[in-house]
């Protein structure tokens, strides 16, 4: 009897762990053979590859296909290799793909993930609508003096590391961006530039470190979403620390705007305006018009937005800026051109890194874009089908609601089909700007469409200011331990890191 019971249990488990693996075969879509329960995602679940690395591998393995099937645990996903189809998902048919689908369970979402990046549906739309003005040109100009101050402090810090054989450029720029986020986000002097062991720098590191606990919980939530729906993918310590940070600042201001014009002030101002009200993206009235929905901007929602501003604000910018420095260190001729432009422009602005000065640095911008092409901070985009049934007209392929699509932008950026000699760092490929490449959906460093990065311009200006600050006073060179093509960190979650960081030699310029 026991043998029969065990056999039945094993059969049921096997069925549960393989029940959807017919999906792509039935539709004639090529894919690797999935393993029970883990699908094609074993490497990520074992911390051997990040989500982006896995998507890039699938992209390269099927060079003749426009789309490729994939299974994350037991869930079918579709990897997009064709920019035309990517455009359809991100822009043309966005109303069928407005969800990111980063939460394994739809009804139980942990508090910190209720932010404009992770949220879906009406929650996303109302938050995005209310917070977009925070990143207008006027707002960026208003906060730029904070960037100027931090850039000057960055130069002082860099001056102290010139005697070292090498210093991790990734850590240097992370300390700079963490300091800026603290000041313009929370009105706090985080002092990450002066104190390498700053508690805020430690918090920033923890957000993007994937421990065994985090990976294990994440795997369980993907494989058994209903059973483990109340488990949190983020470590509880992150939630506690972010809540404490936010509440401390807000209580100090008596829950009212302080006049600092930072991100906390902005949220307090938005809260005073009352409920967020807008047209639903999820539901319609009987006459097919969108329903009007509303949402209270609670402390929990504000903490979630502050978490995103803190985490994504420093992580993506520091990755982009440090990798730009890394590439310029290995390409001294281009570095010299960037420095000549920086010197020429800053001479017009009293050698002060202002908003207008950075706007004039077009060659630096080209170098920044080229570094983002080679190694975009966010190396993939994910969108979930939100319609009951959707058909890709280019493929005559029908997918169901809930199927996720993955656009591996790092792989597209490095495809010789779209960029000549893609492995080479060449800022002059963007000499006329990136608009044509963006229009063709082959260059998407900040995403595209209604869910493109809301803080893209701020992140870019912050990064370029930091690079300009370093290269105005210093030259960067490869150190003895530097690697021209650094290995991506398999522990990456949303943003991509590097194994061993980006060690460089910093030398004072003779001017």
Per-residue pLDDT of the chain (511 residues; tens, 9 = 90+): 777 777 777 777 766 778 889 999 999 999 999 999 899 999 988 888 888 999 999 999 999 999 999 999 899 999 999 999 999 999 999 999 999 988 777 677 888 889 888 889 999 999 998 888 878 888 888 888 888 888 888 998 888 899 999 999 998 998 888 888 878 777 776 554 455 545 666 666 666 666 777 778 777 778 788 777 777 777 788 888 888 888 888 888 888 888 777 788 888 888 888 889 999 998 888 888 889 999 999 999 999 988 888 777 777 888 999 999 999 999 999 999 999 999 999 999 999 999 999 999 999 999 999 999 999 988 999 999 999 899 999 999 999 999 999 999 999 999 999 999 999 999 999 998 898 999 999 999 999 999 999 888 988 999 999 999 999 999 999 999 999 999 988 887 777 789 889 999 999 997 6
Q: Calculate the dihedral angle through the C-alpha atoms of 112, 144, 179, 124, rounding to the nearest 10 degrees.
A: 10
Contacts of 451 (CB under 8 A, 6+ apart): 90, 94, 98, 100, 124, 128, 383
CATH number at residue 391: 1.10.630.10
As a whole number of angstroms, the distance between CA 363 and CA 123 comes to: 39
DSSP tag of 122: H
CA 188 to chain centre: 24
CB 220 within 8 A of CB 98: no
pLDDT of residue 363: 97
The count of domains in the chain is 1
b/e 133-153 (16+ beta carbons within 10 angstroms → b) = ebbeeebbeebbebbbebbeb
pLDDT of residue 199: 61
> Following DSSP, what letter does each residue of 253-301 receive, concatenated?
TTTS--S--SHHHHHHHHHHT--EEEEEEEEE-TTSPEEEEEE---HHH
What phi and psi, each to the nearest 5 degrees, are found at residue 41? -110, 25
Domain enclosing residue 183, as ranges: 2-508
* CA-wise closest residue to 358 among 66, 195, 148: 148
Q: Is 453 annotated as a binding residue?
A: yes
pLDDT of residue 55: 93
As a whole number of angstroms, the distance between CA 472 and CA 297 comes to: 43
Tokens of 471: 């290269």
- Residue 246: its H or E element: helix 236-252
> Following DSSP, what letter does each residue of 351-373 receive, concatenated?
T---HHHHHH-HHHHHHHHHHHH
Max Cα-Cα span within the chain: 88
pLDDT of residue 192: 47
CB 339 within 8 A of CB 347: no
As a whole number of angstroms, the distance between CA 274 and CA 286 comes to: 28
Q: What is the pTM of this model?
A: 0.90
Say whether 69 sits in a helix, a strand or coil. Answer: strand
């Amino acid at each position: 009897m026991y043998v029969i019971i065990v056999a039945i249990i094993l059969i049921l488990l096997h069925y549960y762990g393989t029940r959807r693996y017919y999906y792509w075969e039935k539709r004639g879509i090529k894919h690797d053979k999935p393993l029970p329960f883990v699908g094609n995602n074993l490497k990520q679940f074992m911390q051997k590859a990040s989500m982006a690395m896995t998507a890039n591998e699938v992209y390269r393995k099927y060079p003749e296909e426009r789309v490729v099937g994939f299974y994350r645990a037991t869930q079918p996903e579709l990897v997009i290799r064709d920019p035309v189809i990517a455009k359809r998902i991100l822009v043309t048919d966005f109303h069928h793909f407005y969800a990111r689908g980063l939460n394994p369970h739809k009804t139980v979402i942990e508090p910190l993930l209720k932010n404009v990046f992770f949220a879906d549906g009406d929650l996303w739309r109302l938050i995005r609508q209310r917070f977009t003005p925070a990143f207008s040109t006027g707002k960026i100009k208003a906060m730029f003096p904070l960037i100027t101050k931090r850039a000057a402090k960055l130069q002082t810090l860099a001056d102290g590391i010139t005697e070292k054989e090498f210093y991790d450029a990734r850590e240097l720029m992370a300390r700079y961006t963490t300091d800026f986020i603290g000041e313009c986000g929370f009105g706090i002097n985080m002092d990450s530039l002066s104190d390498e062991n700053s508690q805020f720098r430690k918090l920033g590191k923890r957000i993007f470190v994937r421990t065994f606990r985090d990976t294990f919980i994440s795997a369980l939530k993907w494989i058994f979403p209903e059973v483990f729906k109340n488990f949190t993918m983020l470590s509880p310590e992150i939630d506690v620390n972010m809540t404490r940070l936010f509440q401390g600042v807000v209580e100090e201001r008596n829950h009212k705007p302080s006049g600092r014009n930072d991100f906390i002030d902005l949220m307090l101002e938005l809260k005073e305006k009352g409920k967020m009200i807008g047209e639903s993206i999820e539901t319609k009235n009987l006459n097919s018009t969108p329903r009007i929905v509303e949402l209270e901007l609670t402390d929990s929602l504000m903490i979630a937005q502050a978490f995103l501003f803190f985490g994504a604000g420093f992580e993506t910018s520091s990755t982009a800026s440090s990798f730009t420095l890394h590439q310029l260190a290995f390409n001294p001729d281009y570095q010299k051109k960037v420095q000549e432009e920086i010197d020429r422009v800053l001479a017009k602005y009293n050698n002060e890194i202002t908003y207008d000065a950075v706007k004039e640095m077009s060659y630096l911008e080209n170098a920044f874009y080229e570094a983002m092409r080679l190694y975009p901070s966010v190396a993939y985009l994910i969108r979930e089908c939100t319609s009951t049934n959707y058909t890709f007209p280019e493929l005559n392929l029908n997918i169901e609601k809930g199927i996720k699509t993955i656009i591996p932008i790092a792989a597209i950026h490095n495809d010789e089909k779209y960029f000549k000699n893609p492995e080479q760092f060449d800022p002059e490929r963007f000499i006329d700007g990136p608009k044509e490449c963006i229009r063709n959906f082959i260059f998407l460093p900040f995403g595209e469409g209604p869910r493109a990065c809301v803080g893209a311009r701020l992140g870019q200006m912050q990064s370029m200011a930091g690079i300009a600050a370093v290269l105005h006073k210093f030259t960067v060179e490869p150190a003895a331990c530097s690697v021209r093509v650094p290995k991506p960190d398999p522990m990456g979650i949303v943003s991509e890191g590097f194994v061993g960081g980006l060690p460089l030699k910093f030398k004072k310029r003779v001017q």
